[in-house]
Amino acid sequence: MSAAPVNPPPPAGPGGPDVVVVGPGPLTPGEVLAVARAGARVELADEALTFIARGRAVVEDLADRPEAHYGVSTGLGALATTPIDPEDQARLQLNVLRSHAAGAGPEIERDVVRAMMLLRLSTMATGHTGVRPLLARAVADLLNAGLTPLVPEFGSLGCSGDLAPLAHCALALLGEGTVRDRAGTEQEAEGALRAAGLTPVVPAAKEGLALVNGTEGMLALLLLAAEDLDLLLGGADIVAAMSVEALLGTDAAFADDLQALRPHPGALDTARTLRRALAGSPIMASHRDASCHEVQDAYSLRCVPAVHGAARDALDFARLVAGRELAAAIDNPVITWDGQMRSTGSFHGAPLAHVLDLLAVVVADVAAMAERRTDRHLDPARSRGLPAFLADRPGVDSGLMLAHYTQAALVTDLRRLAVPASVDSIPVSAMQEDHVSLGWSSGRKLRRALDGLATILGIELLVAARSLDLRAPLVPAPATAAVRAALRAEVPGPGPDRPVAPEIEAAARFVREGRPAASASSRPP
């Protein structure tokens, strides 16, 4: 998947807040999405500012004491035993941000960067990071000005937090590095701040470390991926229903009493969606007689509730983990309300890395089942009367043969992306940081996998819609007919061969925007 950071964020979904108040309690996923993708304004709650000031007072009380405090009066990582003189403590924080802004590769997407910044601000609002209210306000001001730092893709190991990505975000607060404005225009940060009426911040003791030592990059990727996967799974259910219908399958296996014998919540939900989508279908009614239907459908038709439902259950678990992380205060050291600065390991990304990898497995499995249904549509030996490759004149025309090739290539890519990153590790910082989560890598490959799944489902949608067309004079169910009609407003129906790539792109966009489920629910006449 190629990054597209120059594009403005998509419009807000219905009901998204225009203003998000940060702290001291956790943000909701909807609030994160509103800021990341819809440009909602950010305000710091008065109570959050009180907590921030309280935490800062602890830092200022401890900074000049003789005992060592990691990252304040000591160096970082393997340099934790190196003492830092009081007059160098502020310089250390500036150097942390500059030295840790060591990323490489293409810039990551705007919504990810904005989500990271908001989530780090939310952690600051707990008071446990010890930053000044001035610094927290500066982060909010940067978000509200629509200035998004350029953050390279590679650099985080998902332990000691997402250090490099967050450092690139923090550079913009100093008036250093590069940002994009609301229109996506690249600018030097210093001039962009000046034009927005903002003043660069000079970090004080502990603040450089507090800006970078969190899991907000991984959490941002998880929250955005969860939203996108939810839309794609809704589309996957409807597209699968269209395939069942067009391939003259049966909905008997989706009966509620049968599904209740194995009561996984996701499977029950998917089965209900399939039944609703197929309700009132003349195509389904045409072969309900046992004499004209096979005893059992193939797994890719009959087992949709099991596979799609398991994907939904995995997504629910991932959201549970995300909710816990939203309620967390991630830093090292953390400020505690008994006036101490204490070292922790809470910046380790394992909880997030594991569920990000789980979702990549889920995506690959849903995609693989979609590809198997597509293959059945195109094979005249198994499509129950449809022309080979759904071609207008098989032989003269190749129909959607090569669309399947593209889908198959994407499925193999998703299988490679499903290999967990979190089972790997690589020691760094002179063996001080000797086990890392690689959760950032898990999140980045999941984002690419979701893009591939949208295209895979889009191709199945193209194929299923054409198969339904070719079942005429029989007509589909009202719900599936509504989806086909919405698609036909952008993609023409069967006919002689024509370039397929634009139709694949249109169908993938249709799926990515959640329009299969929306069209099925609207059921226009």
User: What is the C-alpha end-to-end distance of the chain, expressed in Å?
Assistant: 38
C-alpha distances in Å from residue 314, one per residue of 76, 263, 264, 441: 37, 15, 11, 19
Mapped onto helix, strand or coil, the DSSP state of residue 153 is strand
158: left (phi over 0), alpha (psi -120 to 50) or beta: left
Q: Which amino acid would we find at residue 440?
A: W
Measured in whole angstroms, the distance separating CA 338 from the mean position of its chain's CA atoms is: 38
| Max Cα distance, the chain (Å) | 89
Q: Which amino acid would we find at residue 339?
A: G
Q: Write out the H or E segment, with its range, that includes residue 180.
A: strand 178-180
d(CA 390, CA 386): 7
DSSP β-bridge partners for residue 186: 180
- Among the options 12, 16, 53, 70, which is catalytic? 70
Burial 285-310 (b: 16+ CB within 10 A, else e): eebeeeeebeeebeebbbebbbbbbb
Q: Is 70 among the residues known to form the active site?
A: yes
Closest CA relative to residue 201, chosen from 144, 151, 142:
142
Dihedral of CA atoms 76, 82, 85, 91 in degrees, nearest 10, equals -30
Name the residues annotated as catalytic. 70
